Structure 1
């Protein structure tokens, strides 16, 4: 399910840093410096720099370390991101960072302190630039960057001399403000052996043109997940999946470790979950090693730039859990640049119900205006036990089991969503001597009969619903075996599209079925849903 992430806050920067060497309290510096002496191109606040001496000047021996600590206060209303420059001299082969912040008591209903952290190297902090070196979010209090044994979430490589930046992301600040402390340790010495990434293959064995099951929203220890990549791959195989997409928050660091865990039976696609202050989105199918920036809001008019960056790589833009109830998770960027929308995220909840309703309304608008319609997908967003990999999963009709074919199947909407590999659907419409499947269209005379057919297995005592632009138009129950075939007749004059849902009985609390809704919902929790079959009028 969607996780607590960022928090809204106003742009009024008032950080007041204090620096000390070797952890010893030193003189305070209350001046707030901006890049180049002004607010800078992005208007982001920058603290006074932390400087270290060259190895020869400091007398630090090979393998020796020097530590400095900076403390300060961030007021309520501080900017989304605050940058701490670190002047890294020549001869450094490792930078280690740790941080703390206070959590004072707050009144009920008032957000308390929460602060993310990340790192940019000497290439700078420009939006979408080349300087990104890693992001922890709030998942860990310390990290190390060097050539080979870098902390997950961070990119291994040389620690070059120049101005690096630690970035603090205070996404929730208590009314009292936030007291913070950042400790930086530089280790002097020759660079270590370079890291050699092992990217996953872009093709698995596959079965040719077929339906393939996948989970395109998963987290590992490279962001706030609790599973190793090896454990995620094992869980995917256990869930009967054919493919997964690696979508750690705001970092590409996991891309280079997936290679050994892919195989003929499991396609692993590289991606990212981009967690902005105005909603999260999945960048699916990134080129291995590619990173997508997240440091913007809807009002900044930057989202389209990064959506186009994904599209240039052949990837997909998928708004994630658009009605997630946590602060900063709800989707505010619109859908003009999206290729699909995640309407089902983890165990079925009220926000999934809202997402499906909104998506269905968008389908109706698209059919009325003749615009392209937006496909629906579903993913687990699993971070660790007890969250289940493959609950739910997107089932894609693809030409083969390779990156391009799977992404193209999702882009074209040739998908349905199922809660597990135990649930299978076959959905077709037949009329005028022709037949169409999911995401396909039948062009018919207004009065030509159309038989809509859904074959279901794996949903005991389930309820089948057929939904058109008029709403629900047919409902039928399955027996205790969970298998059955439902056929309903309509015409193109009565339905612009038909989609199917299969629901569990209401208030079903059986473990594993993802029901976290109560008895007040009209329908039981979702077991499966399809993208639409389109019915078009012919003169």
Structure 2
């Protein structure tokens, strides 16, 4: 027994010595040569209101210990929970936001009003809803190997993209082939207790796909780049999701995560120590792109400025220059030895690996989108230590000629303006629906009444269906006027038999409480489910449906909507 204990102790000592000898390097502690005017904080933080470990007050205490001054909580939800008002907790300004699941990935909705119905469904619809509610939307973990998390809807008009995310980084290593990536994760379990924030930072991967997608987007319009910490203080053992405290390890901890990276926001005026006012100042700066990301687990505290000077004055990262005349780009930073500055234009390096603390690049009158980063020589395949937002140099161009007029080449009414002929209702076995022709001041409209059954989600729906026995081959859109008894979303669906199987394609539309004309083009419809053609085979479609379901309506809800002037059309230019 003594020999076994001695051998065990020797083995443990050898393992400990090996770990200590190969620990990630301690983060460099820098003395900022000047105050760059930024406020450190983080977004994408989960609490025990969804899948995080602790309540907001405790999480804020951890942030204060890590030196952060703001947090944005993004617990999972549908946007229907009234957010907590901005407040200071342990001296940290805390904002309450939401992470929404869509069919195209997860979307963070910041600074949005309470949603009048559950937000979900297609990513483009959620982006539209968040914008309508006055919010600022962030495409979350776009590099994640987990399909339901990864943002994929790059055509939607997102406001920002999360370029750096520690949760994505460890998932990518777990998904890689070969033993080395997985060994690095196992090794991290040993080094984390000794150097936690350095271990987290050491696992970060270069988000090359997201950077490329972002570079393509910012060529067309401003999109803000952000770092999200995706903190839960949970590592679920069984399925790698932090949704079960029973089998979850309490790592990585909130404070360690908060020390590993940060967002540095440059406000346009000093904070007033008034939570509501300071939240507006903070969000105004984030919306403007006056923010950069830094990996503090490598070196802290950073000082960084990316500016442009021109005849009309100066611009900072996030700004747009439209005046004519020569422009000079300027980078100033306290980069440590072994780090270098690169200035990028359109995703290509314009000036590479400059090791001076101050760099200037004259670009003349060249239009383009420019950004800067600071990288470590020791991490050539890793993310940048500092990532700026772009400066947009856009010259004023003459307006494009207007598109030629379009005209209707074929049209067919779906509602006769008097009766419900050709229309019917459908619903699941636990919900109810009704349909009648309701008179109004001028003419008649279809009135659809629905009541979804309560309880858990079991596929509740109610719909008004109209027959199209000859198909839709001669048409390219359906047009109608509609309103709801409250703001709501309705799914316009085409149904066809394909290979003997009933299949559907849909496009969601937003209804207000006043009549508005709505148009759905059939090429814009996407399939419901995973199988079948991506768009409806128009010749085979035999019915169109106006569907209310639990994608955007809560179980147990009831209401009414009105439809008039419904018709099929084909346009030509």
Higher share in helix: 2
- Between structure 1 and structure 2, the one with the greater Rg is 2
